[in-house]
Amino acid sequence: MTSIGLQHYLLLAAALFCLGILTMTLKRNAIGILIGVELILNAANLNLVAFTRYRTGAIDGQIVAVFIILLAAAEAAIAIAIFMNFYNSLATIDVDRADQLQG
Amino acid sequence: MIDLDLALALGVLIPLISFTFLAFFGSKLPGIVPDAHGHDEHGHELPPDHLHKSDHSHAPAHDAGHGDHHHFPPKEKKPPGGNPLAGYIATAAIATSCLLATYVLVKWVGMAPGQRTAYAAEMAAKHTFHWADLGKLNLSVAVNLDSLTVIMFFMVTFVASWIHVFSLGYMAEDPRFHRFFTYLSLFCFAMLGLLISNSLLFLFIFWELVGLCSYFLIGFWFEKKSASNAAIKAFITNRVGDLGFIVGLMLVIFYLQDVSLAGATAKFRALADDPAAALFTQTFWGVNLATWMGIGLFCGAVGKSAQFPLHVWLPDAMEGPTPVSALIHAATMVAAGVYLVARIFGLLTPQAQFVIAVIGCITLGMTALIAAVQTDIKKVLAYSTLSQLGYMIFGMGVGAWVGALFHLLTHAFFKALLFLGSGQVIAGCHHEQDMRRMGGLRSKMPVTCWTFFLAVLAISGAGIPWSGFGIGGYHSKDEILVVAYHRAYKWFDEVHHSEHHSALSSSEAYAAEPAHGGDQKDSHTTASHGSGGHNSLGAIYPQVPPLPKWMFWIPVIIAYITPFYMTRCWILTFAGKPRDEHVHEHAHEKPIMWVPLVVLAIASVLCASIPFLTVRLLVADAAHTPEAHAPIDKLVGSRVSSLTPAVNGEELHDAHQALGWIVGFAFVAGMGLAWAIYRNGFGFANAIVKSNPLFRGIHTALMRRLYIDDLYNLVLVGGTHVIARLSAFLDKLLVDGLVNLVAALTRVFSSFTGRQLDMPIKAGDIGFVDAIVNGIANATRTVADLVRRPQSGRIRLYILTLAGVAALILASVAFWDQLEALPGRFKPADSKTKTQLSAAIAGGDSLASGAHRDQ
Amino acid sequence: MNVNTWLEPIVFFLFAGVVLFSAIGIVLTRNIVRAALFLLGTLGGVAGLYFLLMANLLAAIQLIVYAGGTLVLIVFGVMLTSKSPWVRFAPSRSEAAAATTIGLVLFAALAKIVTGIDWTVAAHPADQPATVRQVGNLLLQQYLVPFEVASVLLLVVMIGAAYLARPEN
């Protein structure tokens, strides 16, 4: 068996990132989009932690990852508050219905 | 037993716990609900509604701006007063702190001076908590354990405890009783925290916190417009001073890279030895940055201690409840400014010190004069506080470090006593503050009367000249005056003496400096600074100017005026015949309020005479802490003085003997004059004022507070109005004018084109211009239709587009080789794009991790 | 050859499999509750990979904050914003095709770039887990300012979320 290196993590993160993009584009439920964002953030975090372990030997990347987790939590809180408003005013959670701004 | 610094920290935290508890549960405390007679366990019959009617019964005569009376909400709800349990909790908390402080004080006094330093160093090493590194700035938290902290801590907790007790009686009928004690607990926490802070940063944080409490408490009766205005005024005025503090703090952080009190002083002194230090060589407006740093920090003290340009808030702050005036605006918080100057004393240059002396001198002179004409009992005390604070700041400025702090401590006791006495009078007279309606209260309030008189003696500096026997200001104020005298008259002698003088005292305070190596170093630094200093310190701070003579004489003259206005206040309140039968008739004392008066009276006598041994000794001992190691006091010699009244050293002793003639009898003269003029009430004084237009003018000017408030109103408030009007005018003139002009031009132009170019030739036809306009509109619509399509408002489509474009770019980079290999494609000169990319990334990488690979 | 050398690939592929399987599940399911459950799998798998990357504290944070906090938030959001959580809105076929194409191209490009580069690796990749003390010291010293900014951000978010989600009168 080959030993696990940086490339493995990068490939996995790339796959996770693409799946996140797919989730964001394919879900019509607003919360599905939020889930897609979480996937993308996780991919980024995975990259950061892998790089910081294999390339620097320091732990600065982990600190940044902590901040990203924090931001993700904050973003989820705000997003869900917005969705609730959205749901209260349109009685649906389908983002395709949120097109009043369309030209 | 518990370590002393931890005991102090505990003493700080107990009021915080009390605050937290009261803040959450203060309004829900189960109830000792007082009925109408609930507080009258001592037998005074107060008709329940009498309290609230009487203060409105004189409404026409009452000056609305001066009232201290409550505006109770309509009284249909029970309970009428607050819940005393809240008061008991807060009082118990501060009393516990006071016990801890007493314990620390006793232990501390029990140590020998050398032992104290060693103990403090040991505790600092043991209990320093390293908090954070910000760049080169190292922040650590520890209790600043030294003699000054110990004695100040004791003073604050002691005075605060008795003021809490007093407040139990004074605030008894207030519906927001629990909130009052909540704020008081927060204040105690902040003030004590300020005292134990070991760095300028934490000092600043607590500094702001006491300011906030002050704001809350001045505006405690916020229903009253004047009270809420006063609170805002105090807050804003303090912000102006604090801006200076922040600037000073930034300079400290930038140039000294250490905010701890001892560390910053040490760095400052090290820099002062360096001829090329930027702090001393860079100038701004012709003054070097070191001086600006000192002045900036001092600005904070100017705001908090209400010194000259920013003194306007303190008299207005008397809108707060009287215990607040006693605790915050007389004894402790306003004195924090002096404490701050004491702590930054080592960061001051002689120029900065001179500024401090001038500010203090102006304040003490001006406000004492204003105090002499006030008719509101609290305003007299407020201006007297300003004047005494001026003395302390002045003392700092002339280098009387010990004298100023000693005065701070004695002043705290007797001024708290004075304010509580006035509070007793105000409460007893149903919130009457105007001395024109008082008089003859001696028989109704004997305890208040005589404790107040004792405090008057203390603030006047009463004592027997040359004997060393006296109370209050006799020791502390005179010490400041002696040092000022010395600076003004004996300066040059002192400089000449300083060489052997420093050799003598080096064993004590300057042991760290090599006394014998002084000469060589002196000549070196002297040459580099091009000055004529006589020892190393004189060389570093080359120009220490002697004090101008008027700066000695103004405090001396005020030393005569102080007994005058204080005695006037006492006579008008307590002596003579009652001027208002109604007020006099109902005047009474409550034991819960006069017991603190008696205790504080005893304290204010003892603190300056018998435990003189303790208070003065501890302050003098604190002069050996690093912060006090400023250049100037070495030359003056006050720091090496010790037990004997005021001073040590022959010149200073002589000076004190000489001053016996100058100020020794000031209190007799001032009190005698007051007795002569005000013995029979205001009649004689009014006659004097009316007799001469000059007197009338002076009197009016003083009544108008020397027009300073008016000036601020005119310049600041008026200035804002002017700017607002100007901008409104410019807005109308320029912007509106421009718009109107364009509109008019357009109208003219369009009417011209409409008539000349766009005349339809025949009906149904459209003109040339219309055709163009319509054409443009149609084209726009077509383009817009095109552009609008992708603008679907569908968020998923946006994401898809974004991802698609990103994919396209990335793919074109990644698969460049394959694209290139296709026949008929564009071929760049260098076709190794992929390897280039790879090499670029790897190259950057080799830079980044080269160190790792080399290992 | 120590235990880690042969154990590491197994554990890696195990967790990577969990992550990928769950992520694909998220994409494919039409049910938002299932998607949230799959997200739990992904987050857990990533946390496992953090352990493998010697980031123990981060893994714990991932589990506590993400799986424990954010995910619960999402599930609550699902509950609160849907009369029947089983309602499905399917995207159109053309959309699905376009998205899949773009996703594949993107992944192919990324994979090409990642595999095409000879990543220089540090001489000593960290083989000791980062301790809480290390992370804490960095957070409170070198990264103190971002830390404080983040705390302010959280406060703002708290107020903002409460404001946004308040019942309208």
Segment among A85-99, B444-458, B476-490, B835-849 with least mean pLDDT: B835-849
Does A49 sit within 8 Å of C55, measured CB to CB?
A: yes
C-contacting chains (≥3 CB pairs under 8 Å) = A, B
Residue B841: what pLDDT? Answer: 55
Judged by DSSP in three states, B201 sits in: helix
The residue type at B83:
N
Does B853 sit within 8 Å of C123, measured CB to CB?
A: yes
Residue A97 pLDDT > 70, yes or no? Answer: yes
Inter-residue contact B71 to B224 (CB < 8 Å) = yes
**pLDDT, tens only, B794-850:** 778 888 888 899 999 988 888 877 766 766 555 554 445 555 555 555 555 444 444
CA angle, residues C37, C41, C42, in degrees to nearest 5: 115
Biggest alpha carbon–alpha carbon distance for chain C: 69
Of B807, B814, B846, the CB nearest to C102: B807
Residue B23 pLDDT > 70, yes or no? Answer: yes
Segment among B155-164, B186-195, C114-123 with least mean pLDDT: C114-123
* % of chain B exceeding 70 in pLDDT: 75
Inter-residue contact B580 to B61 (CB < 8 Å) = no
Residues in chain B: 855
- The size of the A-C interface in CB pairs under 8 A is 230
Alpha helix segments (H runs only) across B197-276: 200-218, 225-251, 261-272
Residues of C in contact with B846 (CB under 8 A): 120
- Higher-pLDDT residue of A82 and B622 is A82
| Cα(B327)–Cα(B416) distance, integer angstroms | 7
Residue A59: what pLDDT? Answer: 84
Segment among B244-253, B494-503, B546-555 with least mean pLDDT: B494-503
| Best CA proximity match to A6, nearest among A60, A70, A50, A72 | A50
Segment among A92-101, B611-620, B822-831, C47-56 with least mean pLDDT: B822-831
Q: Which residues contact B268 (CB under 8 A, 6 or more apart)?
A: B256, B279, B290, B346, B347
- Higher-pLDDT residue of C82 and B492 is C82
* % of chain A exceeding 90 in pLDDT: 48
Q: Is C1 on the interface with A (CB under 8 A)?
A: no
Residues of A in contact with C157 (CB under 8 A): 74, 77-78
Residue B513: what pLDDT? Answer: 34
Alpha helix segments (H runs only) across B257-347: 261-272, 278-281, 289-304, 313-316, 322-326, 336-343
Q: Which residues contact B821 (CB under 8 A, 6 or more apart)?
A: none
- Higher-pLDDT residue of B472 and B445 is B445
Q: How far is B792 from chain A (nearest CA, A)?
A: 5
| Cα(A63)–Cα(B89) distance, integer angstroms | 45
Residue C157: what pLDDT? Answer: 93
Burial B636-675 (b: 16+ CB within 10 A, else e): bbbbbbeeebbbebebbbebbeebeebbbebbeebbebbe
Residues of A in contact with C20 (CB under 8 A): 12, 15-16, 19
Residue B837: what pLDDT? Answer: 54
Residues of C in contact with B839 (CB under 8 A): none
Residues in chain C: 169
Q: Is the peptide bond before B514 cis (omega within 30 degrees of 0)?
A: no
Average pLDDT value over all residues in chain B? 76
DSSP run (H or E) holding B283: strand B283-284
Angle between helices B591-606 and B446-460 (to 10 degrees): 30
- Mutate: best of B201, B835, B846, B852, partner C, most C CBs <10 A: B852
- Phi and psi, residue B503, nearest 5°: -65, -35
- Mutate: best of C138, C141, C149, C151, partner B, most B CBs <10 A: C141
Q: Is A97 on the interface with C (CB under 8 A)?
A: no
- Higher-pLDDT residue of B809 and B500 is B809
**pLDDT, tens only, B615-656:** 777 777 776 665 555 443 343 333 222 222 233 434 455 556
Would you tell me how many other CB atoms lie within 10 Å of the CB of residue B275?
13
Q: Please report which confidence band the pLDDT of residue B37 belongs to, taking 50, 70 and 90 as the band edges.
A: very low
Does B848 sit within 8 Å of A21, measured CB to CB?
A: no
Q: Is B810 on the interface with A (CB under 8 A)?
A: no
Q: How far is A38 from chain C (nearest CA, A)?
A: 9
Query: What is the mean predicted confidence (pLDDT) over B293-308?
Result: 91
Query: What is the mean predicted confidence (pLDDT) over B323-347?
Result: 89
Residue B388: what pLDDT? Answer: 93
Mark out chain B residues that contact chain C at CB-CB < 8 A: 131-134, 796, 800, 803-804, 806-808, 810-811, 813-815, 834, 837-838, 841-842, 845-846, 849, 852-853, 855
Q: How far is B129 from chain A (nearest CA, A)?
A: 23
Interface of C with B in 62-121 (CB under 8 A): 91, 95, 98-99, 102-103, 105-106, 108-110, 112-113, 116-120
Query: What is the mean predicted confidence (pLDDT) over B88-115?
Result: 89
Query: What is the mean predicted confidence (pLDDT) over B301-326?
Result: 90
| Best CA proximity match to B44, nearest among B177, B219, B218, B172 | B172
| Best CA proximity match to B660, nearest among B516, B531, B536, B556 | B556
Residues of B in contact with C106 (CB under 8 A): 803, 806-807, 810-811
Domain boundaries, chain A: 6-91
Residue B464: what pLDDT? Answer: 74
Residue B613 pLDDT > 80, yes or no? Answer: no
Does B806 sit within 8 Å of C108, measured CB to CB?
A: no
Would you tell me how many other CB atoms lie within 10 Å of the CB of residue B707?
13
Which range of B86-100, B595-609, B612-626 scores highest in mean pLDDT? It is B86-100
Residue B497 pLDDT > 50, yes or no? Answer: no
Residue B840: what pLDDT? Answer: 55
Residue B212: what pLDDT? Answer: 92
Q: How far is A9 from chain C (nearest CA, A)?
A: 9
- Mutate: best of C26, C57, C83, C148, partner A, most A CBs <10 A: C26
Q: Please report which confidence band the pLDDT of residue B139 belongs to, taking 50, 70 and 90 as the band edges.
A: confident
Does A93 sit within 8 Å of C122, measured CB to CB?
A: no
Which range of B175-184, B382-391, B403-412, B436-445 scores highest in mean pLDDT? It is B382-391
- Mutate: best of C95, C120, C144, partner B, most B CBs <10 A: C120
Query: What is the mean predicted confidence (pLDDT) over B57-84?
Result: 45
Query: What is the mean predicted confidence (pLDDT) over C79-91?
Result: 68
Query: What is the mean predicted confidence (pLDDT) over B360-388?
Result: 91
- Phi and psi, residue B260, nearest 5°: -70, 150
Inter-residue contact C109 to B813 (CB < 8 Å) = yes
Segment among B71-85, B400-414, B471-485, C74-88 with least mean pLDDT: B71-85
Does A38 sit within 8 Å of C39, measured CB to CB?
A: yes
Of B784, B799, B845, the CB nearest to A24: B799
Residue B658: what pLDDT? Answer: 67
DSSP run (H or E) holding B462: none
Question: What ipTM was predicted for this assembly?
Answer: 0.88
Q: How far is A68 from chain C (nearest CA, A)?
A: 10
Interface of A with C in 20-59 (CB under 8 A): 20-23, 25-32, 34-36, 38-39, 42, 45-46, 49-50, 53-59
Segment among B597-611, B620-634, B671-685, B761-775 with least mean pLDDT: B620-634
Does B845 sit within 8 Å of C120, measured CB to CB?
A: yes
| Best CA proximity match to B129, nearest among B262, B266, B260, B268 | B260
Does B796 sit within 8 Å of C145, measured CB to CB?
A: no
Distances (CA, A) of C123 to B61, B742, B850, C130: 90, 72, 10, 18
Query: What is the mean predicted confidence (pLDDT) over B122-131?
Result: 83
**CB-count burial class (<10 Å; 0-12, 13-18, 19+) for B333:** buried
| Cα(B161)–Cα(B91) distance, integer angstroms | 6
Q: How far is B823 from chain C (nearest CA, A)?
A: 22
CATH architecture of A6-91: Orthogonal Bundle (1.10)
Query: What is the mean predicted confidence (pLDDT) over A51-75?
Result: 88
CA angle, residues B669, B674, B679, in degrees to nearest 5: 135
Residues of B in contact with C140 (CB under 8 A): 131-132
How many CA atoms lie less than 13 Å away from C89 in the CB half-sphere?
A: 18
- Higher-pLDDT residue of B375 and B763 is B375
Residue B756: what pLDDT? Answer: 64
Average pLDDT value over all residues in chain A? 86
* % of chain B exceeding 90 in pLDDT: 20
Q: Which residues contact C36 (CB under 8 A, 6 or more apart)?
A: A31, A35, C71, C74, C75, C78
Q: Please report which confidence band the pLDDT of residue C95 belongs to, taking 50, 70 and 90 as the band edges.
A: confident
Residues of B in contact with C145 (CB under 8 A): 134
Query: What is the mean predicted confidence (pLDDT) over B731-756?
Result: 83
Which range of B421-430, B785-794, C46-55, C76-85 scores highest in mean pLDDT? It is C46-55
How many CA atoms lie less than 13 Å away from A89 in the CB half-sphere?
A: 12
Segment among B6-15, B574-583, C81-90 with least mean pLDDT: C81-90
Residue B425 pLDDT > 80, yes or no? Answer: yes
Q: Is B852 on the interface with A (CB under 8 A)?
A: yes
**pLDDT, tens only, B528-537:** 333 333 333 3
Interface of B with A in 828-847 (CB under 8 A): 845
Residue B515: what pLDDT? Answer: 34
Q: Which residues contact C99 (CB under 8 A, 6 or more apart)?
A: A21, A22, A25, A26, B800, B803, C91
Q: Is A60 on the interface with C (CB under 8 A)?
A: yes
Q: How far is A83 from chain B (nearest CA, A)?
A: 14
Residue B533: what pLDDT? Answer: 33
Query: What is the mean predicted confidence (pLDDT) over C31-50?
Result: 91
pTM above 0.90, yes or no: no
Residues of A in contact with B803 (CB under 8 A): 21, 25
Does B849 sit within 8 Å of C144, measured CB to CB?
A: no
Judged by DSSP in three states, B358 sits in: helix
Say if domain C3-109+129-165 classifies as CATH 1.10.3430.10.
no
Q: Please report which confidence band the pLDDT of residue B242 belongs to, taking 50, 70 and 90 as the band edges.
A: very high
Residue B372 pLDDT > 70, yes or no? Answer: yes
B-contacting chains (≥3 CB pairs under 8 Å) = A, C
Measured between CA atoms, the residue of chain C closest to residue B847 is C120
Strand partners, B138: B133
| Cα(A25)–Cα(A41) distance, integer angstroms | 16
According to the 3-state scheme, what is the secondary structure of B10-60?
A: HHHHHHHHHHHHHHHHHHHCCCCCCCCCCCCCCCCCCCCCHHHHHHHHCHH
Query: What is the mean predicted confidence (pLDDT) over B492-519?
Result: 38
Residue B387: what pLDDT? Answer: 93
Residues of A in contact with C164 (CB under 8 A): 78, 81-82, 84-85
Residues of C in contact with A27 (CB under 8 A): 32, 35, 91
- Phi and psi, residue B375, nearest 5°: -110, -15
Does A95 sit within 8 Å of B796, measured CB to CB?
A: yes
Residue B43 pLDDT > 70, yes or no? Answer: no
- Higher-pLDDT residue of B630 and B670 is B670
